[in-house]
Amino acid sequence: MLGVGLVGKAMAIDLKKDHHVTAVDINSKALKELESMDIQTCQMDLSTEEAIMRIVQDYDLVIGSVPGYMGYHTIKSVIRAGKNMVDISFMPQDPSDLNDLAKDNGVSVVFDCGIAPGMSNIILGYHNSEFEVQKFECLVGGLPVIREWPFEYKAVFSPIDVLEEYIRPARYVENGAVVTREALSDPELISFDGLGTLESWNSDGLRSLIHTMNVPNMIEKTLRYPGTIEYLKVLRESGFFSYDEIDVGGKKIRPIDLTARLLFPKWQLKPGEEDYTVMRICISGSKNDTSTRLIYNLLDRYDKTSNTISMARTTGYTCTAVANLLLENQMERKGVIPPEYLGESKNNFNYIIKYLEERGVVFQVSGQ
């Protein structure tokens, strides 16, 4: 397990039930918590290929849960070590570029294997193999139960990865053509049973689906509490999310690094603070000349019994389900694999759905 933040910790604990797990991170505090659960740990800087190749050499499978800016380099190093891998790093690069390298090394690497991207891809991949999908829409968000001014938000991922959602151009597919809009565009207010009204905007969550699924209309939007877009746009337009260095008292700094340092302490979940994950997937098309429309609804909450946050459950357990598929030799495909390809197998799809249900992550499906 490379990287043991809040999601990595949940995955390590889940995999420990049936496998020998070693957790690797530079953060000694995160590792110490896992040691008390009888999980082997190793404190290590994972910024070099040599370090990664050395630590993974004795293991059957690698789980990648490092910050997005480290993701591509980590996957490349694991491939060169000749190890299979499942990864949840939200990296700016396209890991499919490493497909030939993975095939040459005879390994399987499943990337973007979280909740969205991840489970959303698996669901679309399954149904696109069952009927002719014409439209796919995914709305998804992770939010704190208690809304606290001024941000009404808590983050469980690397701060830079969270801020990337607010600046990375959003791509969607409309009438067969790829459309690129700025992040935070096309806001909508949407009602959810049991939650009330949330705010959505365009985000770049389709990822590999743009190239792998021949679906003429696809979009993914992020959900937050109403009012979020306004303050994020103010910060973005003021330059707080910029990667371009500025001079401050004779020192060069990137504004986004300062912003992350200031915001993340305010965004951190306090011990015992509860969160939830909400996702709505709408898929429509035709099967045997009959119109078909399916809606997947997920409302997952903080697990008080195990003190596991919802975003770690929904993201992490999707990843560990796929990890078990690999460990049980249920996947023969080699190379760098987007999660939607897993969903094309009914057995894989049912396995993952059942795995999540056994851990209390349950999708409510309606339509026909």
| DSSP, residue by residue, 298-319 | EEEE-BTTTTB-HHHHHHHHHH
Q: pLDDT band at residue 12, thresholds of 50, 70 and 90?
A: very high
pLDDT value of position 156: 81
Give the residues across from 290 on adjacent strands.
Answer: 287
Average pLDDT over residues 26-54: 93
Give the chain's mean pLDDT: 95
Q: pLDDT band at residue 255, thresholds of 50, 70 and 90?
A: very high
Structure tokens at 76: 């490349």
Query: Of 234, 222, 167, whose CA–CA distance to 190 is shortest?
Result: 222
pLDDT value of position 270: 85
What digits encode the pLDDT tens for the residues 149-194?
A: 989 999 888 778 889 889 999 999 999 999 999 999 999 999 999 8
What digits encode the pLDDT tens for the residues 110-157?
A: 999 999 999 999 999 999 999 999 999 999 999 999 999 989 999 888
Structure tokens at 365: 């499906």
What digits encode the pLDDT tens for the residues 184-214?
A: 999 999 999 989 999 999 999 999 999 999 9
- The DSSP code for 38 is T
- pLDDT at 368 > cutoff 80: no
Average pLDDT over residues 294-310: 95
Query: Which CATH number among 3.40.50.720, 3.40.190.10, 1.20.120.50, 3.30.70.20 corresponds to the domain 6-114+312-363?
Result: 3.40.50.720
pLDDT value of position 196: 94
- pLDDT at 27 > cutoff 80: yes
- pLDDT at 290 > cutoff 80: yes
Report the topology of domain 119-310.
Dihydrodipicolinate Reductase; domain 2 (3.30.360)
- pLDDT at 38 > cutoff 90: no
Query: Of 20, 306, 315, whose CA–CA distance to 156 is shortest?
Result: 315
Amino acid at 358: E
Percent of the chain's residues with pLDDT above 70: 100
CB count, 10 Å around CB of 219? 22
- pLDDT at 269 > cutoff 90: no
- pLDDT at 258 > cutoff 80: yes
**Where are the domain boundaries for CATH 3.40.50.720 in the chain?**
6-114+312-363
- Compute, in degrees rounded to 10, the torsion defined by CA atoms 266, 269, 272, 274: 110
* Whole-angstrom distance, CA of residue 4 vs CA of residue 210: 30
Q: pLDDT band at residue 272, thresholds of 50, 70 and 90?
A: confident
- Compute, in degrees rounded to 10, the torsion defined by CA atoms 312, 220, 338, 121: 70
Percent of the chain's residues with pLDDT above 90: 89
Q: Which residue has the tokens 């249900």?
A: 357
- pLDDT at 322 > cutoff 80: yes
**Where are the domain boundaries for CATH 3.30.360.10 in the chain?**
119-310
